[in-house]
């Protein structure tokens, strides 16, 4: 593997993105435990949950973008968000290890799609069933993202 000359900078940027994700996750845990009425959520609960999901995905995507920029920086401009997510599943021989599994990509893709929806179709009365589906994906994926990114960082550190 060819770690970029600024490998320590990449590691620091990835760690900074993980810290942001940790902050979002901690807020979600607090919010979920104390605020959300699961049977009859308020409009505010729906809005906050939607924002948490979008912010989490954005933090993870920023991490992926830093990796892409450090190693290959070759994204399809027409669909770069989806392309970036797909490329993080690739092991590029002699360049970089795989960052996330196909299963993690598939779960994160749901959050990416919701972020796109939320960005272009402004509304406040989010479908609670859809939010619960996305929340389930978020909760299934967040420990796996942490594990896979930590593995990736370990591989970077050990190759330098």
For residue range 85-139, what is the model confidence (pLDDT) as tens digits? 999 999 988 888 999 999 999 999 999 999 888 766 667 778 889 999 999 999 9
pTM to 2 decimal places: 0.90
Q: What is the DSSP letter of 96?
A: B
CA within 13 Å, CB half, 134: 25
pLDDT recorded at residue 3: 58
What are the residue boundaries of the structural domains of the chain, listed by start?
A: 7-154
CATH code at 7-154: 1.20.120
**Cα angle vertex 27, ends 141, 144, to 5°?**
15
């Amino acid at each position: 593997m060819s770690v970029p000359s600024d490998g320590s900078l990449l590691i620091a940027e990835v760690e900074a993105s993980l810290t942001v994700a940790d902050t979002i996750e901690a807020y979600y845990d607090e919010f979920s435990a104390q605020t959300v009425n699961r049977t009859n959520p308020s409009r505010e609960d729906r809005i906050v949950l939607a924002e948490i999901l979008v912010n989490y995905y954005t933090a993870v995507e920023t991490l992926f973008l830093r990796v892409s920029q450090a190693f290959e920086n070759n994204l399809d401009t027409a669909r770069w968000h989806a392309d970036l997510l797909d490329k993080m599943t690739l092991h590029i021989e002699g360049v970089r290890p795989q960052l996330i599994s196909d299963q993690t990509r598939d779960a994160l893709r749901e959050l990416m799609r919701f972020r796109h929806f939320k960005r272009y179709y402004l509304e406040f009365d989010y479908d609670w069933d859809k939010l619960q589906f996305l929340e389930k994906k978020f909760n299934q994926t967040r420990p796996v993202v942490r594990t896979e990114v930590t593995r990736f960082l370990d591989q970077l550190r050990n190759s330098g």
